[in-house]
């Protein structure tokens, strides 16, 4: 697995695609070596859009991109015991209605995604809806986010379900400390250059 740790810099002498002359820049799309805390780590050039040519984290410039309608759908699962599920269905938990509180928390979090995830663009969401289905083994949370913008709303949808799941844990933890969360995953996205994508097992 390839990874970059810390704030390493591309070393010109270590990268076969790097022009070592003054002012030279990386060439091509091959693998380059990144020196990170004294360790050489493999990296593929230009595959991670939030990393610049020198290995630094950056916000992607979307100024020249066209606005299109963007839609994303994500889900999260919250696993709990049968006794906690019964309390949830009977609305017998001490903090009130966990499902409604979790739903509102997820909507609020989706609108605040760029405050939570450092390199996300602030987006004006035009729609964000969250539904929660209680099952025999816990709850399934789904969010649908929409906007008209230069970049997608995948992170907004995933942040919404993640925070809704955490809120559901908080609302139910008095009854059960061993509640689990996950997976949290993107189900579908549309809009933009990459077009329509749907998770195969969704």
Catalytic residue among 129, 133, 170, 201: 170
CA pair distance 130, 145, nearest whole angstrom: 9
Q: Is 11 exposed, middle or buried (0-12, 13-18, 19+ CB in 10 A)?
A: middle
Active site residue 170: yes
Report CA-CA distances (Å) from 15 to 2, 10, 29, 97, 178: 16, 7, 11, 57, 48
Helix, strand, or coil here: 11?
A: coil
Paired residues of 129 in beta bridges: 144
* Distance from C-alpha of 74 to C-alpha of 162, rounded to nearest angstrom: 9
Residues labelled catalytic: 170
């Amino acid at each position: 697995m390839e990874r970059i740790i810390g704030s390493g810099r591309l070393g010109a002498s270590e990268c076969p695609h790097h022009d070592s002359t003054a002012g030279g820049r990386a060439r091509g799309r091959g693998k380059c070596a990144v020196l990170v805390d004294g360790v050489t780590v493999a990296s593929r050039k230009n595959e991670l859009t939030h990393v610049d040519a020198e290995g630094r984290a950056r916000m992607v410039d979307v100024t020249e991109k066209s606005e299109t309608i963007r839609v994303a759908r994500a889900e999260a699962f919250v696993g709990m015991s049968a006794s906690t599920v019964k309390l949830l269905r009977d609305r017998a938990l001490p903090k009130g209605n966990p499902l409604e509180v979790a739903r509102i928390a997820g909507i609020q979090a989706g609108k605040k995604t760029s405050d939570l995830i450092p390199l996300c663009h602030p987006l004006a969401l035009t729609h964000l809806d969250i539904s929660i289905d209680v099952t025999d083994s816990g709850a399934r949370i789904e969010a649908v986010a929409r906007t008209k913008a230069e970049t997608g709303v995948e992170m907004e949808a995933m942040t919404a379900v993640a925070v809704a799941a955490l809120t559901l844990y908080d609302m139910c933890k008095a009854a059960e400390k061993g509640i689990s969360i996950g997976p949290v995953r993107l189900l579908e996205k549309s809009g933009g250059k990459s077009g329509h994508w749907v998770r195969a097992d969704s």
